[in-house]
Structure 1
C-alpha cells in the first residue's frame, strides 16, 4: 500500500487514500494528531510544545514524544501515514520539529523510542535534513 491521494480541504482534518482504497483520517487536536480508519482510532502522534527565546522574539518547538500507529494490527505502518501526520501537525502549527534521541532512556516528557520508533525517527531526520517535512 502507498498513499495515492491527499485531501487537505479541511484545516483540522487530512484524508489520505491508500492504494488499496482504505482511507485514513488524520485529525489535528491540541498538541496531537489522531489517525482513524473506518471510524476507529489506529494511531496517535503526541508533541510536547515549548517556546525557545530567540533574540527579541521566540520560536515554538514541537518535540515528538509519542508516535503510535499499531492499530488494526499495524496495517498502516510503513505506508507514509506517520510522516503525513507529522507534516500535517507542522503545517497546522508552524512549529519547529524536535525529534527524540535513540539513547534508550525514557525522558521526563515520556518520550522514548521502542519497536519501529528508531527507524521512524531516523527517516524523519533524513526528510527534515532534506527539507521534505
Structure 2
C-alpha cells in the first residue's frame, strides 16, 4: 500500500507528498470536516471523508465515509492518521455486513479492503472484537 510522505504540519493542517509526486494538504475544519487542497484549491467534496463522534465517548469516532479525491496514493491512510492524532481519537468502522445505513457508514467499493488494511496496521479498531459497538445502528 502506498504511503504519503508528511512534508509540513501545523495545528489543523498537514501537507503530504504522494508517491505520484503531487503535494496535497489535508485540513481539519470546524465540525471535524476533512478538506483536501492542491495548490491552494479544494479538491474533492467536503463530505467525502466523514467521522462521526460517538454519542457516549467523545474519544471514539465512527469512520462513516472514506472517499478520497486521489486513490492508491496513501491519502486515506494519512487522513485517518491525522484525524486520530488531532483528536487523540480511537476510530472504528462497521463490518461489511451488507446493511445500507442512513449515516453512510456501510462499506462499499474499495472500503472493505481499506478498512481491513487499516485494522491490520492498528489505525482502526476491529469492531468485531469490541462488543461495545454492537448496539450502534
TM surpasses 0.5: yes
TM-score, normalised with respect to structure 2: 0.75
- Could you say which structure has the higher strand fraction? 1
CA 1:108/1:5 → structure 2, altered by over 3 Å: closer, same or farther?
A: closer
Per the alignment, residue 55 of structure 1 pairs with: none
In structure 1, the residue corresponding to 2:50 is in which secondary structure?
A: strand
Alignment deviations for residues 56-112 of structure 1 (CA, whole Å, 9 cap, x no partner): xx552100001112x3xxxx2121110000010010001111112111112242211
- C-alpha contact 2:7 2:15 (8 A) present in aligned 1: yes
In structure 2, the residue corresponding to 1:77 is in which secondary structure?
A: coil
Unaligned runs of 5+ in 2: 126-137
Per the alignment, residue 28 of structure 2 pairs with: 28
Per the alignment, residue 41 of structure 1 pairs with: 43
1:80-95 matches, cutoff 5 A: 80-95=74-89
Give the Cα–Cα distance (whole angstroms) in 2 for the partners of residues 46 and 130 of structure 1.
14
Aligned length: 121
Give the Cα–Cα distance (whole angstroms) in 1 for the partners of residues 94 and 59 of structure 2.
16
- C-alpha contact 2:90 2:124 (8 A) present in aligned 1: no
TM-score, normalised with respect to structure 1: 0.77
Per the alignment, residue 6 of structure 2 pairs with: 6
Give the Cα–Cα distance (whole angstroms) in 2 for the partners of residues 4 and 107 of structure 1.
30
Offset of 1:118 from its aligned partner?
A: 0.8
Per the alignment, residue 68 of structure 1 pairs with: 67
